[in-house]
Structure 1
Amino acid sequence: MSGAEVAVVGSGPNGLAAAVVLARAGVRVEVFEAAAEFGGGMRSKPLFDDRVVHDICSFGHAMAPASRFFREFDLEARGVRLLQPEAGYAHPLDRGAGIAYRSLDRTCERLGRDGRRWREHVGPLVERSREIVDLLLGDQRHFGHAGTALRLPAEIFKFGLAAEHLFTGQEARGMIAGVAAHATGRLPSLPAGGVVAMLAPLAHSTGWTLPRGGSQRIADALVADLLAHGGKLHANTPITDLRELNKYKVVLLNTAPRGLLDLAGALLPSRYRRTLEKVRYGPAAAKVDFLVTEPIPWAEPEVRVAGTVHVGGTMAEIFASETDIARGKQSARPFVLVSDPMVVDPTRGLPGKRPVLGYCHVPNGDPADVTGTVRRQIERFAPGFSDTIIESRCTTAPQLEAYNPNYVGGDISSGAVSVKQMIARPALRMNPYATPLGGVYLCSGGVTPGPGVHGMGGFHAAASILRREFGIREVPGLHP
């Protein structure tokens, strides 16, 4: 195997996951990263104070402890502590809040009259959460867990298109809407139903975790394993033309479909190229980082135990604002994803200095500075929040794309999460990871099974490469 070589372009979660799998199989792997740090969407660094660590992109990790790749890779055994807050997520309202505690029983008790319905609709999914994750993060070509696979479409429909009729109280309805908004698109929708069916029960099973010390810890563990198995990494090394990598037997691109067009557009068959040119990119994120003096003063005290907070009001408000944004309209009260990581991880800051972040959904490519919008949305449910702010910094949608070209127009999903684009992601092919160019593969969030820090796009792409290019049919073990 000494002459076999693979070049991986991009060191996000999928690129590093694929590199780890390939290196453990005995393949020589080199990773090329345009930025100074490895990790892609998993990077963390100080922004305002050298002793206060901010997650630059991803912060909460529901799929890291749940996906097959990370289950086998075993982050905890490698010293990466995935901390579980008392509540995975919370949803404040103008009066009260919905809280998804680690305990399903406690969650149901707090929901009052909707508690029985939450147990009826979410409880069975908690029991089958691993099977659901395996199905939804699969390669869409091979299916296991036959019983769950048969029931899952009905669950996706229920949480997708019938979500407004499942609960009567605003707390439970808001909780479902907040999770659905992770689909970043028009609501209600079938893709959002899939997101709810996967993420909502994880709050009561493996958890919506925050890595101790920041998301960079996950990237560091992947890099360490790759180096231990002979892999090489090159930072500050942008690849601008696929032909720069001609000496490699295989090239694996951890890029959005547009990245493949940029690197190899002239080399691609016209039909495939037109397909990639038609890939639609979804609504964007704009991010605001705050340095604050104290925990967020949520009006509802129980919100303060949650690692992730969904800010946006009622289900009707969130559905309306997400749909407007998907249509290219700005929203005065958009959905905002908020985290105060020191709720569970005191190592992230200092007394009187805490990192807080807020992701706001905006139309694709919108250059607006959303600092005021995000601050007002948080203040709506946490009066006095503005008085705690020491410094703030907005990263607009175009700036997110400049930071990571995979986020086209600020779309952190690397392609709209629609029914069509989840079935054909990025194109309808027997093998979604292989391209028409011999030896060239894709593995980003723009490819099946889609976005998120789960590593499964890289895992599936690596398995395909091992089988097709090197005749290796068994994926190597990933345990430490």
Structure 2
Amino acid sequence: MYKTEYDAVVVGSGPNGLAAGITMQRAGLSVLIVEGKPTVGGGMRSAALTLPGYVHDVCSAVHPMALLSPFFKDLPLHEFGLEFIQPTLAAAHPFDDGTAVTLDQSLAKTAERLGEDGEAYLNFMEPLVNDIPRLLPSLLGPLAWPENPLALAKFGLKALPSSLRSSNRFKTKAAKGLWAGMAAHAIQPLGNLATSAFGIMLMAAAHLNGWPIPKGGSQSIADALASYFKAIGGVVETGFQVNDLNQLPPSKVVLMDVTPRQLLSIAGDQLSSSYRSRLEKYRYGSGVFKIDWALNDVIPFKAEECKLAGTVHLGNTLEEIAHYEKSIAEGEPAGKPFVLLAQQSVFDPSRAPEGKHTAWAYCHVPNGSQLDMTAAIENQIERFAPGFRDLIIEKSIMNTREMEAYNPNYIGGDINGGIQDLWQLYSRPVWSVSPYRTSASNIYLCSSSTPPGGGVHGMCGYHAAKQAMKDVFKMNKIDSLEVRV
């Protein structure tokens, strides 16, 4: 039985739940964060999934948006043990002929490596890299009138087309392949409108701040956020599974770091019938099939550049990637999977015993699929790194159901909290003046099922907290986050 009344209770301790709690606690409110699992973190947890001494990131591994996020930039997380490591190269993309194209933190170097497509890449990306820092409040927030409408319009002209259409600006296999691998992070067919936005943001993030990995595992981000939250007076309780809001202690407002399906299950009886009906129409996207390996050595890529990259995209040509991603959306994987691979231990020796290594990879599959993609993923790695299988000591496999069991927000293995297509990018979870409000005046949604969507950036939680502070506590003068690049 609780004796304390809080101003706010946050359900869920993913990046957005922690961001919501921190934002409100910093404003002088009393906040409790409850988490069903034994540790905080949501998609930011790390664990010895294979063998003792091997640290694997259970979900998120590489964090382009963390250093780009205005919320993260505003926090002194280094004082709480968080250290980011920059791989030599942000990403690499190998081809069957043994060559590879790379994404460097330097815009000029990336363009130089693209050869005859270098000028096209500079013309495409340089204006975006220059504009994106001042556009972040619009790009990483709810739909609203922008402070820089002209710059945002220029961004939109490049971001709204499908990535297949945008690929036409390039001539070479290398540039088209690199672009396809970036755009495929959208987890939808490359022919869909606005898939270019995903490629643009990831490439711009690399050129602005790199694609860092957190020393010691993604859990260190969650631990630093939680430690900071507690240092400013916040309270965290783990092992607290919420199935009904009546389980919570008294508070003026509850912020839910959950997706619409869970919100309906936990708080449906407190929501209006019309709002429930709209939530029931919310669409989830494709799932993921993930493998972690304990390895005897570094992955023996044929292309030496791949050994210098924190992330390696395995999909060969644009055509091959586009074919596979389209087949996933149609419900039947066809061809060789597009594999997203990270090799954190190459740059962070704390991830494995001396002389040993870890690897992390996943591919997209239909939502809820029970297909075993182990052989397909390992074949794809072996294709570009002959001898990879001989290095495997142990492996950990998670299909879509196991991903959801691990994190209930991953409905059917959907790691983005719902498909982020053009029709559900800013209307997450419903069309609304404020997508963070629900029909209940004391319940707010703060998960990746609200704008700006998936990723470790905390901005969904930040904006939800600001909305609740304005509505419930009449705190209208809330300082904006300072954007520093």
TM-score, with normalisation over the residues of structure 2? Answer: 0.95
For residue 441 of structure 2, the aligned residue among 435, 438, 441 is: 438
CA–CA distance in 1 between the matches of 2:48 and 2:92? Answer: 26
Indicate if the aligned counterparts of 2:77 and 2:225 stay in contact, CA closer than 8 A. Answer: no
Amino acid at match of 2:179: I
> 2:22 is paired with a residue of what secondary structure?
helix
Separation in structure 2 between the aligned mates of residue 23 and residue 477 of structure 1, nearest angstrom: 15
**1:265 lines up with 2:268 in the alignment:** yes
Shift of 1:246: 6.8
Who is 1:179 aligned against? 182
Equivalent position of 1:339 in the other structure: 342
Gaps of 5+ in 2: none
1:41 to 40, 43, 60: 43
Q: 1:21 aligns with which of 10, 20, 23?
A: 23
Q: Which residue of 1 aligns with 2:322?
A: 319
The answer to whether 1:194 aligns with 2:186 is no
Q: Give, in whole Å, the separation in 1 of the partners of 2:340 and 2:156.
A: 27
SS at match of 1:261: helix
2:125 is the alignment partner of 1:122:
yes
Aligned-pair CA distance for 1:472: 1.4
Q: Please list, as runs of the form range in 1=range in 2, the aligned pairs for 1:409-428 lying within 5 A after superposition.
A: 409-428=412-431
Q: Deviations over 1:424-462 (max 9, x none)?
A: 100011110010012100011111111100000000011
Q: 1:18–1:458: 8 Å Cα contact kept in structure 2?
A: yes
List aligned pairs for 1:196-215, cutoff 5 A: 196-215=199-218
Looking at structure 2, the residues matched to 473 and 161 of structure 1 have their Cα atoms a distance apart, in angstroms, of: 43
**Equivalent residue for 1:368, pick from 362, 371, 394:** 371
Pairing partner for 1:237 from 237, 240, 249: 240
Q: Conserved in 1, the CA contact under 8 Å of 2:100 and 2:306?
A: yes
Distance 1:145 1:299 in 2: 45
Partner of 2:10: 8
Contact persistence 1:183–1:191 (CA under 8 A) = no
Looking at structure 1, the residues matched to 17 and 156 of structure 2 have their Cα atoms a distance apart, in angstroms, of: 30
- Structure 2 Cα separation of the partners of residues 327 and 417 of structure 1: 17
User: 2: CA distance between counterparts of 1:311 and 1:343?
Assistant: 18
User: Any idea what SS the aligned residue of 1:89 has?
Assistant: strand
Report deviation, 1:112. 1.0
- Residues 313 and 341, structure 2, Cα contact 8 Å, conserved in 1: yes
Range that drifts further, 130-139 or 24-33: 130-139
How much has 1:172 moved relative to structure 2? 0.8
SS of residue matched to 2:451: coil
Deviations 1:176-233 (CA, angstroms, capped at 9, x unpaired): 1111111101212223111122111211121111011111111111101111122111
Shift of 1:77: 4.8
1:406 and 2:396 aligned: no
The 2-side partners of 1:187 and 1:317 are apart by 11
Q: CA deviation at 1:4?
A: 5.0
Residue 423 of structure 1, CA deviation? 2.8
1 CA distance for matches of 2:435 and 2:468?
12
2:311 equivalent to 1:308? yes
Q: Is the 8 A contact 2:284 2:418 kept in 1?
A: yes
TM-fit CA distance, 1:153: 1.0
**Does residue 463 of the first structure (1) align with residue 470 of the second (2)?**
no
Q: Does 1:256 align with 2:265?
A: no
> In structure 2, do the counterparts of structure 1 residues 158 and 421 end up closer, same or farther at CA, with 3 Å as the change threshold?
closer
CA contact (8 A) 1:140 1:449 kept: no
1:324-360 Cα shifts (integer Å, max 9, x gaps):
1011112341111101102221221123321101111
**2:349 matched to 1:350?**
no
CA distance change for structure 1 residues 477 and 420 in 2, over 3 Å: closer, same or farther? closer
2:109 maps to 106
In structure 2, what residue type is equivalent to 1:387? D
Structure 1 counterpart of 2:71: 69
2:254 and 2:311 map into 1 onto residues whose CA distance is 37
Return the offset for 1:322: 0.6
Equivalent-residue separation in structure 2 for 1:249 and 1:122 (angstroms) = 46
Aligned partners of 1:188, 1:176: CA distance in 2, in Å? 13
Deviation at residue 307 of structure 1 after TM alignment: 0.7
Corresponding position of 2:362? 359
Deviation at 1:128, TM superposition (A): 2.4
Aligned identity (percent) is 41
Check the 8 A contact 1:161/1:190 in 2, yes or no. no
Partner residue of 1:56 out of 55, 58, 61? 58
Please tell me whether the aligned partners of residues 161 and 194 of structure 2 are also in contact (alpha carbons under 8 angstroms). Answer: no
- Deviation, 1:419, is 1.1
Aligned length: 478
Secondary structure of the structure 1 residue equivalent to 2:390: helix
* Distance in 2 between residues matched to 1:418 and 1:92, nearest whole Å: 28
